[in-house]
Structures are given as structure tokens and as C-alpha cells.
């Protein structure tokens, strides 16, 4: 009795029994111990705490986002390998390596992790790394909230990975449709882990959304009107408006599901007046905008890259901005196309099908504007451009599949089949992931002061492109052959196995690409002195972030820039080849470090764990702790800023100018 | 010369892949592209139309991409052709706002029409009287009730060729999706609700069906078949079912509704009247738990 009230549903049986999960759990624990030991051995705890864990500097936060996202890419990628191994072998009389329930946990985790902790993490990371500099700003609007967003994101990530060590994960798919996700059909803690990791990370995302909206509206430098902003901030603006409108829906929907599961309410249950169709509508009212939340910033990145590497102004800037807002508007009018098969009736289906098709128009316009940015340019085919070229071809093909599925009667024949799976992976991988990889390669020298190895980067891109075609081409065909998604087993004689094996080979090639990217990173760090960027402008860039030293100093700009046109830095280089040194630097105020965000993140993790396992005292203690931390931070007299003296700024800038001259 | 050789190799490779794929697929059924019923045909027709329309856009786009990338590469730089400040053109931008608007405009008409003509709730036009089959998704199998013939079967539905079939679909467990691709598109099965699907087979054969929506650990084993035969075949099958199986009453239904995986086809010689109605209505009453297996005793069920 006492144990039950202290430990909730947690017992010794909650720890994994099967070999595969045990292996994963043990390796997670071992790696954590190893990391702790290494940091202790090197005596780096103080450094880690001061420079990283308590930082409120947007560039550091950006680096941490990317680091977490890359770790999660490896986790989600392992899930993908397990799925391919299962589906290539679990045929007829043969059983695959995974029992059905575990297979279902694996694909549920794969989808959840890839969207929430890889794609979102890379996106917020890249925005943090470069957007303030592009706006000519010293930081985001709310640096403290920015750090808090990151730690909530990380708390959600840790909670979802704790499900490997303690308990189980949801087996109900990445969007956990009820009634399957209701307590009656999913009595374990898996769905609760899913709910709470997304609740915590989702609140962080919402705060990021608000933060970046305000940053764009309030922190632009002098002279930068909205129509003089680079395309990346424009696309982030569209995306963050979607975040602000969509994420509250997710938070509320998950809360209702948790109330169903925990307090026996009936929002979405099968009987007693509940209605699962309401959940399906709500989750997609968040879920469809989410797709555009991810892809718009990637479009922005492509816009920057194409202009830079074509050495030409972006073509059709106004059209591009109009296209972004057309997409933002339409993305809230299409959610029903995810369930044409729920019996809504012909008028409703037709309306949503038509709205869905309209999105193809602004998207097509963007593609042509990119092509005509290249037209009459001087194109350098660096690895970011290679990712872009892969994107153009794959994304267009995926878009065709999307337009086809927007016709309801065609959708009836491919809905929830592997054709659909292939379609959305085409959009997300070529649209979002390629874009973020291109962005990471492009801005890497700005962040770390040296370039990534180009040759390995190109090999990696080719592996991803070819591997992608092999991994997802067969899935389109399998879908047309009647193969539904999420099958842990199928009959022999259908001809599916050969195609699944090819898809498995494709995933192996993609994984080779991932390996090459890790190698590229390691090799580039090793040979960093050969690829140093002393000019701050390694690619002959066009926007303000390239006007600072690489890595960008903590304060971004010694003197806040003033711009008169788009492509501000390009114009500066053209008209004032050697910018005059300003006579005097001033003291610069930057946000101070604070432990509050990481503490709130840790307490959220504890509270989330308490909610998952019904350890109510822990949940209450976590929530109370958060309240106390927030109040303490808010009510303190400290203004949260510290001063970088003018003399130090002058010294740093002089050093940058000297190196730049040497390099020239 | 060297480069031409390279392109030739790539071309040959692509051709080889296409041929290999065609040979491989010729051994198997590509259900959506090889329909056996009028709805399936029309849906394939739409798919083909959509693909052809897309080709009009995609092929020139790809050709243009390759051309521009090739011609304006750094290594081929010609100062006269370099125009770094040219960043807008009303004419060009109107073209690529305009053409997609026209094409999508055509497609929206197609969407509107086809959504109505191929509405799954719409009865098929036929001189023959439609056959009604009530479908119940269970953990983890499909129950087919023939209300007019008073028989039922599990994981195998027999239908006569050329006769419209009215499927009335519900679930006595979580949401599933009823899909027989060679006959035509799918629709969800949901507890407490009845969805409809109107299909017909144009030729005799056995067509694979499955659940397209994840429904728990036995989900992969929810494959079933629809067998289409002549009306004699169908009548013979009904007659055999009447003699072969046990009756489907509350007791045997509750037994069947218990979770089970990879269930082989079974038959029921008769069906308790109103069983289907009971299955759908019970979720609407506040006092019964959502699952027949645990909550509804046989005696009470038989009174309904």
C-alpha cells in the first residue's frame, strides 16, 4: 500500500525482459556513465555548466539543439533499421526478429522521435544559430525563454528515451489514435510516455514560436523593413505563426487523452459518449500545420543557399513571400485530407481535396523562382547545392504523389498504404532533412570557424539521394500492391519480400551516408586548421551573418548594422569594399547565464515521470518546484544582463580585422 | 565523348532497372493497377489521368533544372550571360503562377466530380438487386454477416460477380479500415458507427483485403479474402455455410469477439436477428462497458 503510493505503477516488472530492449537500456546507461566519467576525468564539469548548460546565448543554444537532434537521428535511424530488418524477413512461415508488440513500439517511437526531436530540433537549432545575425540583432527577443524552450525540449527527449529503460513505449502509432490509445486497449504506460514527452516538448516549442515571432517583429536592425528581410527569417516567421496557432491544439488534445486514460473521462472513448473522430480531427488540426512548420524554414534555407551559390539575387522575392503566406493560410484548411476515409461525405471531402491542391500552386512557384535564381547566375556546386538539387527532383516527385492523394477517390486506394508512407518520407526527407543538412553545412563555418570537408559531404549527399530512391521507391510500388503500413508480418507469395529487401538495402545506403557525415565531422575537426575561415565570409555570402567574424562573437555585432536594401552584406561589399572602422565601440549588454532553465527542465522531467507512472507526490513536487523556480527567477532583482566592456569589443574586432587582412 | 559515354551508361542502367522491375512485377498482382471491379477501374482511371497531367509539368521542370544547372555552372562562366541583379520579371512570374493555377483548376473540377461520383456511400447503378453484407471488425479478424441469407463468415466473404454489394461496416473494437484494393477504395470501421462502401466485382476471382489502420498486436493478421463467383457459386456457398457451421448467437459471438490472431475462415449457419444492430447500438448506451466480451452476458444479449 505504502509502496504503491510511493511508486505508483512502477514495480520491478517494469524493467525490460526481452533481449533487444535490455540491450538498448544497458547501452543507454553505459553511454551515460561513460559520458559522466569522461567529463569528470577531463575536469570539464565547471566548464560545461558555465559555458553551455546555463547559457542564454542563442548560438550556444542552437549548437545544443543540433547536438540533441543528431543523437536522436541515430536513435530514430536505428528504429528504421529494425523496421526494415523485420519487414524484409517476417514473411509466411518465418518470423522476424521482433515480436509484434515491440515492432509497433519501434515504429511509434521512430515517427515520434524523427518529427519532434530530430526535425524540430534541427529547425530550432538552425533558427537559433543564424536568424538573429541575419536580422542584424544581438540576440532573440527573450533569451531566458529561449533557454527554457531548449531545456523543455531536452526534458521531453529524455522522457521518451527513459521508456526504453523503465517500462515500455506506446504501440499505437506516432499519433496514437483512440480508441486504441485509450486505457482499455493500451493499459501500459507506453501511451503516457508518449503523451508526456510531447506535452513537455510541445510547451517548449510554443514558447520558441512566440519568441521568434517577437524577435522578427522587434529585433530587426535599423533600415531592415519587413520587405528587406532575408527569406530565411520570412519563412521562420510563417512557420512560427503556425507554431503559435497549432501547438496549443496539440497540448490540449494530449491533455484530454490523458484525462480519459487517468481519470476515466470520455472525450475519445469508444462508448459512453466519447468520440474518437474528434481526436482525429484535433490531432490533424495540429498535425498538418506541423508539416509546414518544418518545411517552411527549409524552404527559407534553400532560398539563401541558391542565391549565394548562384552569386545572384533571389528571383521573385515578393512572390516568395506571398507564397509563404499562401502556404501558411492554406495549411490550416487541409487537415481533413488525412482521413478522407472516415466517411465525411462527398462535399466535405471535395472541399478539403481542393484546398490541398491549392497548396501545390505556391510551392510550384517557389521551385520556379529557385530555378530562375540559378538562371544567368554563376553556380558553384558545393555540397549544400547538391542537397538542393536532390531536393528539387525528389520533392517534385513526392509533390506529384501528394497532388494525386488530394483526389479523394485516389486516396481511398492508397490511404494508410506504403504509398502514403513513401509520399510523406519523400516530403520530409528531401524537403526538410536535406534542407537542414544543407543549412548545417552552409552555416557550419559561421558557427565553428572552419568549413566541413566538401568531398565527404558530397559523398554523404549522394548516399542519401541514391539510398533514398532505393529505400522509398519500392514502397510506392508496395502500396499499389496493397501493402498497408505498420505490418509486422505478411503472407508469402504476394511478391512483397523482394521489394522490402531492396528498401532495406536503400536504408543501409542512407546509413552509410549518416556514417560519412559523422566521419566528415570528425575529419573536419581533425583538419580544422586547413579549413579555417578568417574572413567571416567563406562562401561570398549575401546576408548580414557573414559580416561578422567566424565564429560569431557573443555579442554578434560590435556596432549594430544599418541596412538600405535586401542582400545587405552583398551590397556593403559592393559599394564599400573596406568598411571604415567605427571610431568608438560602446559597452555591450548581453544576457547573463542562469541555471533556472535547466532546473525547470529537470523538474519537468521528474513531474512527467510522475504523471506517467502515477507517482503523484513526484508529479506534485515537480510542478511545485517549477512554480518556485519561476517565481524566484522572475522576482529576483537581477536584471539578467552583464556588460562586455568596449575595450574588450575593440580588441576582439581588431583581432578579426587583422586576421581578415592576413587571409586576404 | 567521355561524357556522352557516361550518360549512355546511366540511361542503360535506368532502362535495366525498369525492365527488371517489370519482369518482377509480372509475376504478381499490383492490386490498385489491376482492378477487378467498376469502382477500382474508375479509381485507377483517375490515378492514370492525374499522373499524365503531372507529367506535363514535371518533365519540362526537370529538363529546365538540368539545363539551367548545366549551362550556368561556374566552370562555364560567360560574363555576358551573368546577370546578378536580375531578380524579377512580371511576365515570368505570371507564367508560373498562371500555369499551375490552370492545371490545379482542371484538377479541382476532377476532385469535385469524382468525390461525388465515387462517393463510397453512393449506391451503384445496376439492374440487379444489391447484396447487403454487414461487416464487423473484431480483435483481430473480420466478421461478415449476410442479413438476407442469414449466414455469416469470418475472414472470407463470398460475393456474386456483377452484383452490387452494399457493405455496412462497423467495429466492435478499435478503429480499423476495410480495404479490398482490387475492388476499390477503403473506409474506416468505427465502434458505435456504421460506414458504407458500395463495391462490385466484374470478374470471378479471390481478392485480398486487409485492415489499413493499426488496431493492436494482431493487426498484421487481419488479412481476409473476398471471393467472387457466379450466382450459382454464391448460392452453393450460402447453402454449404448453412450446413457447415454453428449458429451465430450471443454466446458464439462473444466467443468470437475475444482477441485472437491469424484466424482461419469460419462459417456460421444462422445469425441471431438484430445482432449487428446490437453491436452498433451498445456503444451508445451509457451503462455498458465498451466491449461485449467482458460486459454483456449472453442472456441479456438475447433479449435485445
Query: Which CATH number goes with the domain that contains B243?
Result: 2.60.40.420
Give the integer Cα–Cα distance in Å for A558 and A568.
17
Across residues A456-467, what is the average pLDDT? Answer: 97
pLDDT at B289: 44
Where do runs of H (alpha helix) occur along chain B?
2-25, 38-71, 90-117, 231-244, 250-257, 275-281, 292-295, 298-303
Phi, psi of B167 (to 5 degrees): -85, 125
Mutate to test the interface with A, among B104, B172, B194 (most CBs of A within 10 A): B104
Mutate to test the interface with B, among A108, A172, A179 (most CBs of B within 10 A): A179
Query: Do B15 and B145 fall into the same domain?
Result: no
From chain B residues 9-28, the ones with a CB under 8 A of any chain A CB are 21, 24-25, 27-28
**Would you say residue B94 lies in a domain?**
no
Looking at the partner chain, which of B116, B179, B195 has a beta carbon nearest the beta carbon of A346? B116
Looking at the partner chain, which of B28, B31, B283 has a beta carbon nearest the beta carbon of A270? B283
User: Could you read off the pLDDT of A488-514 as tens digits, one per residue?
Assistant: 999 999 999 999 999 999 999 999 999
User: Could you read off the pLDDT of A470-493 as tens digits, one per residue?
Assistant: 999 999 999 999 999 999 999 999
Across residues A252-269, what is the average pLDDT? Answer: 96
Residue of A288, A231, A315, A555 lying closest to A402 (CA atoms): A288
**A412:B43 CB<8 A:** yes
**Whether A399 contacts A291, CB under 8 Å:** no
Distance from CA of A80 to the nearest CA of B (A): 18
Give the integer Cα–Cα distance in Å for B96 and A626.
52
**B82:A378 CB<8 A:** yes
B87 touches chain A (CB under 8 A): yes
Neighbours of A222 (CB within 10 A): 10
User: What residue of A is the nearest CA neighbor of B281?
Assistant: A271
**Whether A361 contacts B210, CB under 8 Å:** no
Let me know how long chain B is. 304
**Whether A527 contacts A459, CB under 8 Å:** no
Give the integer Cα–Cα distance in Å for A416 and A400.
17
User: What residue of B is the nearest CA neighbor of A91?
Assistant: B220
Confidence of residue A318 (pLDDT cuts 50, 70, 90): very high
User: Could you read off the pLDDT of A239-248 as tens digits, one per residue?
Assistant: 999 999 999 9
Mutate to test the interface with B, among A313, A327, A483, A484 (most CBs of B within 10 A): A484
User: Could you read off the pLDDT of B199-216 as tens digits, one per residue?
Assistant: 999 999 999 999 999 999
User: Cis ω on the peptide bond leading into residue A285 (within 30° of 0)?
Assistant: no
Angle formed by the axes of helices A616-635 and A596-613, nearest 10°: 160
| A286 vs A29, higher pLDDT | A286
Looking at the partner chain, which of B28, B100, B211 has a beta carbon nearest the beta carbon of A481? B28
Give the integer Cα–Cα distance in Å for A424 and A611.
32
**B69:A354 CB<8 A:** no
| A172 vs B1, higher pLDDT | A172
Mutate to test the interface with B, among A358, A386, A482 (most CBs of B within 10 A): A482
Whether the pLDDT of residue A579 is over 60: the answer is: no
Residue of A421, A264, A408 lying closest to A348 (CA atoms): A408
Neighbours of A584 (CB within 10 A): 8
Across residues A361-377, what is the average pLDDT? Answer: 95
Where do runs of H (alpha helix) occur along A345-452?
346-374, 383-405, 408-414, 418-425, 434-448
| A253 vs A580, higher pLDDT | A253
**Would you say residue B45 lies in a domain?**
no
B291 CA to centre of own chain: 27
**B31:A350 CB<8 A:** no
Query: Do B157 and B287 fall into the same domain?
Result: yes
**B179:A484 CB<8 A:** yes
**B111:A486 CB<8 A:** no
| Domains annotated on chain A, with CATH | 2-486+495-528+587-663 (1.20.210.10)
From chain B residues 105-144, the ones with a CB under 8 A of any chain A CB are 107-108, 110-112, 114-116, 118-122
Confidence of residue A637 (pLDDT cuts 50, 70, 90): confident
Query: Do B22 and B135 fall into the same domain?
Result: no
The 10 Å CB-count burial string (b at 16+, else e) for B142-154 is bbbbbbebbbbbb
Give the integer Cα–Cα distance in Å for A638 and A144.
13
3-class secondary-structure state, position A514: helix
Torsion of CA A163, A166, A171, A175, to 10 degrees: -30
pLDDT at A663: 83
Confidence of residue A581 (pLDDT cuts 50, 70, 90): low
**Would you say residue B269 lies in a domain?**
yes
**Would you say residue B185 lies in a domain?**
yes
pLDDT at A20: 81
Give the integer Cα–Cα distance in Å for B186 and B198.
10
**Whether B149 contacts B238, CB under 8 Å:** yes
Classify burial at A95, counting beta carbons within 10 Å of its beta carbon; exposed 0-12, middle 13-18, buried 19 or more: middle
Residue B184: list chain A partners with CB under 8 A. 412-413
The beta-carbon contacts of A20-25 under 8 Å, at least 24 apart in sequence, are: A20/A97, A20/A98, A20/A102, A21/A102, A21/A164, A24/A164, A25/A164, A25/A165
B173 touches chain A (CB under 8 A): yes
Give the integer Cα–Cα distance in Å for B31 and B200.
15
B58 touches chain A (CB under 8 A): yes
Give the integer Cα–Cα distance in Å for B94 and A79.
45
Give the integer Cα–Cα distance in Å for B72 and A240.
35
**B72:A498 CB<8 A:** no
**B212:A269 CB<8 A:** no
**B217:A104 CB<8 A:** yes
Percent of chain A residues topping a pLDDT of 70: 98
Sign for the pseudo-dihedral over CA of A293, A299, A303, A308: positive
Query: Do B13 and B136 fall into the same domain?
Result: no
Give the integer Cα–Cα distance in Å for A235 and A220.
15
**Would you say residue B242 lies in a domain?**
yes
State the total domains in chain B.
2
pLDDT tens sequence for chain B (304 residues) = 566 788 889 889 999 999 999 999 999 999 999 999 999 999 999 999 999 999 988 999 999 999 999 999 998 888 888 989 999 899 999 999 999 999 999 999 999 999 999 999 999 999 999 999 999 999 999 999 999 999 999 999 999 999 999 999 999 999 999 999 999 999 999 999 999 999 999 999 999 999 999 999 999 999 999 999 999 999 999 999 999 889 999 999 999 999 999 999 999 999 998 999 999 998 877 555 444 443 333 333 333 3
Cell 522521435 sits on residue: A113
Cα-only R_g, chain A: 25
Confidence of residue A272 (pLDDT cuts 50, 70, 90): confident
B206 forms beta bridges with: B227
**Whether A331 contacts A243, CB under 8 Å:** no
Let me know how long chain A is. 664
**B210:A314 CB<8 A:** no
Q: Element (H or E) spanning A421, and its range?
A: helix A418-425
User: What residue of A is the nearest CA neighbor of B175?
Assistant: A179
Specify the pairing of strand A641-644 against strand A588-591. Answer: antiparallel
Tell me B222's DSSP state.
-
Q: Which residues, 6+ apart, have CB-to-CB distance to A452 below 8 Å?
A: A383, A441, A444, A445, A520, A521, A524, A531
**A413:B185 CB<8 A:** yes
Looking at the partner chain, which of B25, B96, B174 has a beta carbon nearest the beta carbon of A180? B174
**A350:B33 CB<8 A:** no
**B93:A316 CB<8 A:** yes
**B87:A314 CB<8 A:** yes
**Whether B198 contacts B121, CB under 8 Å:** yes
Residue B33: list chain A partners with CB under 8 A. 480
The 10 Å CB-count burial string (b at 16+, else e) for A286-319 is bbbbbbbbbbbbbbbbbbbbbbbbbbbbbbbbeb
Looking at the partner chain, which of B29, B100, B221 has a beta carbon nearest the beta carbon of A360? B100
Mutate to test the interface with A, among B14, B17, B42, B68 (most CBs of A within 10 A): B68
Residue A407: list chain B partners with CB under 8 A. 46, 50, 107, 110-111, 114
Whether the pLDDT of residue A404 is over 80: the answer is: yes
B97 touches chain A (CB under 8 A): yes
Give the integer Cα–Cα distance in Å for B238 and B267.
10
**Would you say residue B294 lies in a domain?**
yes
**Would you say residue B260 lies in a domain?**
yes
Locate B35 and state its grid cell.
Answer: 482492378
Cell 454449404 sits on residue: B240
Range of B6's domain?
Answer: 1-27
**A413:B47 CB<8 A:** yes
Residue of B234, B211, B243 lying closest to B139 (CA atoms): B211
pLDDT at A1: 62
pLDDT at A116: 97
**Whether B231 contacts B107, CB under 8 Å:** no
Give the integer Cα–Cα distance in Å for A576 and A602.
50
B172 touches chain A (CB under 8 A): no
Looking at the partner chain, which of A101, A311, A389 has a beta carbon nearest the beta carbon of B84? A311
User: What residue of A is the nearest CA neighbor of B101?
Assistant: A361
**Would you say residue B49 lies in a domain?**
no
Residue A416: list chain B partners with CB under 8 A. 177, 179, 186, 212-213
Give the integer Cα–Cα distance in Å for A517 and B99.
40
User: Cis ω on the peptide bond leading into residue A305 (within 30° of 0)?
Assistant: no
Nearest 5°: the CA angle B214, B219, B221 is 150
**Whether A591 contacts A640, CB under 8 Å:** yes
Amino acid at each position: 500500500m505504502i509502496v504503491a503510493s510511493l511508486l505508483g505503477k512502477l514495480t520491478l516488472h517494469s524493467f525490460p525482459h526481452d533481449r533487444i530492449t535490455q540491450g538498448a537500456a544497458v547501452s543507454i546507461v553505459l553511454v551515460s556513465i561513460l559520458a559522466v566519467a569522461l567529463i569528470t576525468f577531463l575536469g570539464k564539469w565547471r566548464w560545461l555548466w558555465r559555458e553551455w548548460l546555463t547559457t542564454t546565448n542563442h548560438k550556444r543554444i542552437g549548437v545544443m539543439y543540433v547536438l540533441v537532434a543528431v543523437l536522436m537521428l541515430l536513435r530514430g535511424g536505428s528504429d528504421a533499421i529494425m523496421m526494415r530488418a523485420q519487414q524484409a524477413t517476417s514473411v509466411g512461415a518465418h518470423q522476424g526478429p521482433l515480436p509484434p508488440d515491440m515492432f509497433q513500439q519501434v515504429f511509434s517511437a521512430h515517427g515520434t522521435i524523427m518529427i519532434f526531436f530530430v526535425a524540430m530540433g534541427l529547425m530550432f537549432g538552425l533558427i537559433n544559430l543564424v536568424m538573429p545575425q541575419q536580422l542584424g540583432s544581438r540576440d532573440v527577443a527573450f533569451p531566458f525563454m529561449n533557454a527554457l524552450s531548449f531545456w523543455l525540449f531536452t526534458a521531453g527527449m529524455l522522457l521518451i528515451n527513459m521508456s526504453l529503460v523503465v517500462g515500455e513505449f506506446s504501440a499505437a502509432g506516432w499519433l496514437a489514435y483512440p480508441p486504441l490509445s485509450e486505457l482499455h486497449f493500451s493499459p501500459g504506460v507506453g501511451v503516457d510516455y508518449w503523451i508526456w514527452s510531447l506535452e513537455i516538448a510541445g510547451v517548449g516549442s510554443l514558447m520558441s514560436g512566440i519568441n521568434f515571432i517577437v524577435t522578427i517583429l522587434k529585433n530587426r536592425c535599423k533600415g531592415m523593413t519587413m520587405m528587406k528581410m532575408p527569406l530565411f527569417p520570412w519563412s521562420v516567421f510563417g512557420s512560427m505563426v503556425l507554431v503559435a496557432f497549432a501547438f496549443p491544439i496539440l497540448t490540449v488534445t494530449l491533455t484530454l487523452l490523458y484525462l480519459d486514460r487517468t481519470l476515466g473521462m470520455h472525450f475519445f472513448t469508444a462508448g459512453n459518449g466519447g468520440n474518437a473522430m474528434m481526436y482525429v480531427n484535433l490531432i490533424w488540426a495540429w498535425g498538418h500545420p506541423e508539416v509546414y512548420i518544418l518545411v517552411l524554414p527549409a524552404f527559407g534555407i534553400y532560398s539563401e543557399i541558391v542565391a549565394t551559390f548562384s552569386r545572384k539575387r533571389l528571383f521573385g522575392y515578393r512572390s516568395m513571400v506571398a507564397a509563404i503566406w499562401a502556404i501558411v493560410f492554406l495549411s490550416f484548411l487541409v487537415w481533413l485530407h488525412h482521413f478522407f476515409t472516415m466517411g465525411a461525405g462527398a462535399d466535405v471531402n471535395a472541399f478539403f481535396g481542393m484546398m490541398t491542391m491549392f497548396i501545390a500552386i505556391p510551392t510550384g512557384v517557389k521551385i520556379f523562382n529557385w530555378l530562375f535564381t540559378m538562371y544567368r547566375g554563376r553556380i558553384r556546386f558545393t555540397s549544400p547545392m547538391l542537397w538542393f538539387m536532390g531536393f528539387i527532383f525528389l520533392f517534385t516527385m513526392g509533390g506529384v504523389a501528394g497532388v494525386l492523394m488530394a483526389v479523394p477517390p485516389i486516396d481511398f486506394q492508397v490511404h494508410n498504404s506504403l504509398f502514403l508512407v513513401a509520399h510523406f518520407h519523400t516530403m520530409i526527407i528531401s524537403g526538410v532533412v536535406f534542407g537542414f543538412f544543407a543549412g548545417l553545412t552552409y552555416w557550419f563555418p559561421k558557427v565553428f570557424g572552419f568549413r566541413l570537408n566538401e568531398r565527404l559531404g558530397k559523398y554523404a549527399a549522394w548516399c542519401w539521394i541514391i539510398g533514398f530512391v532505393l529505400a522509398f521507391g519500392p514502397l510506392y510500388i508496395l502500396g499499389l500492391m496493397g501493402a498497408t503500413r505498420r505490418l509486422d508480418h505478411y503472407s508469402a507469395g504476394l511478391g512483397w519480400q523482394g521489394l522490402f529487401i531492396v528498401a532495406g538495402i536503400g536504408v543501409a545506403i542512407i546509413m552509410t551516408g549518416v556514417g560519412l557525415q559523422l566521419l566528415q565531422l570528425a575529419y573536419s575537426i581533425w583538419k580544422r586548421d586547413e579549413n579555417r575561415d578568417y574572413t567571416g565570409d567563406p562562401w561570398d555570402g549575401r546576408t548580414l551573418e557573414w559580416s561578422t567574424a567566424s565564429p560569431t562573437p557573443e555579442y554578434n555585432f560590435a556596432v549594430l548594422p544599418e541596412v538600405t536594401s535586401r542582400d545587405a552584406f552583398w551590397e556593403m561589399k559592393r559599394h564599400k569594399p573596406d568598411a571604415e572602422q567605427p571610431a568608438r565601440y560602446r559597452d555591450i549588454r548581453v544576457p547573463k547565464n542562469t541555471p533556472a532553465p535547466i532546473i525547470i527542465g529537470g523538474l519537468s522531467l521528474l513531474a512527467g515521470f510522475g504523471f506517467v507512472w502515477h507517482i503523484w507526490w513526484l508529479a506534485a513536487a515537480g510542478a511545485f518546484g517549477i512554480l518556485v523556480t519561476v517565481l524566484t527567477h522572475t522576482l529576483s532583482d537581477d536584471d539578467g544582463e552583464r556588460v562586455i566592456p568596449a575595450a574588450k569589443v575593440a580588441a576582439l574586432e581588431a583581432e578579426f580585422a587583422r586576421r581578415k587582412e592576413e587571409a586576404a | 565523348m567521355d561524357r556522352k559515354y557516361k550518360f549512355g551508361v546511366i540511361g542503360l542502367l535506368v532502362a535495366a532497372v525498369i525492365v527488371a522491375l517489370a519482369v518482377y512485377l509480372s509475376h504478381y498482382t499490383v492490386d490498385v493497377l489491376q482492378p477487378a471491379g467498376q469502382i477500382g477501374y474508375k479509381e485507377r482511371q483517375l490515378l492514370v489521368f492525374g499522373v499524365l497531367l503531372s507529367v506535363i509539368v514535371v518533365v519540362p521542370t526537370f529538363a529546365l533544372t538540368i539545363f539551367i544547372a548545366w549551362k550556368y555552372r561556374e566552370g562555364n562562366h560567360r560574363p555576358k550571360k551573368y546577370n546578378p541583379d536580375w531578380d524579377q520579371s512580371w511576365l515570368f512570374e505570371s507564367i508560373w503562377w498562371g500555369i499551375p493555377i490552370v492545371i490545379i483548376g482542371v484538377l479541382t473540377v476532377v476532385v469535385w466530380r469524382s468525390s461525388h461520383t465515387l462517393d463510397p456511400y453512393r449506391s451503384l447503378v445496376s439492374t440487379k438487386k444489391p447484396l447487403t453484407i454487414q461487416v464487423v471488425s473484431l480483435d483481430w479478424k473480420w466478421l461478415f454477416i449476410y442479413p438476407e441469407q442469414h449466414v455469416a463468415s469470418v475472414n472470407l466473404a463470398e460475393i456474386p460477380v456483377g452484383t452490387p454489394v452494399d457493405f455496412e461496416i462497423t467495429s466492435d473494437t478499435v478503429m480499423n479500415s476495410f480495404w479490398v484494393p482490387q475492388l476499390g477504395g477503403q473506409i474506416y470501421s468505427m465502434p458505435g458507427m456504421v460506414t458504407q462502401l458500395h463495391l462490385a466485382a466484374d470478374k470471378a476471382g479471390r481478392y485480398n483485403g486487409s485492415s489499413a489502420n493499426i488496431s493492436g498486436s494482431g493487426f498484421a493478421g487481419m488479412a481476409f479474402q473476398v471471393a467472387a463467383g457466379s450466382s450459382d457459386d454464391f448460392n452453393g456457398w450460402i447453402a454449404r455455410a448453412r450446413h457447415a457451421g454453428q449458429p451465430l448467437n450471443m454466446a458464439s459471438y462473444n466467443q468470437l469477439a475475444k482477441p485472437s490472431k491469424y484466424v482461419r475462415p469460419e462459417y456460421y449457419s444462422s445469425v441471431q436477428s438484430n445482432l449487428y444492430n446490437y453491436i452498433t447500438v451498445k456503444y451508445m448506451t451509457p451503462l455498458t462497458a465498451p466491449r461485449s466480451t467482458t460486459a454483456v452476458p449472453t442472456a441479456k444479449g438475447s433479449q435485445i
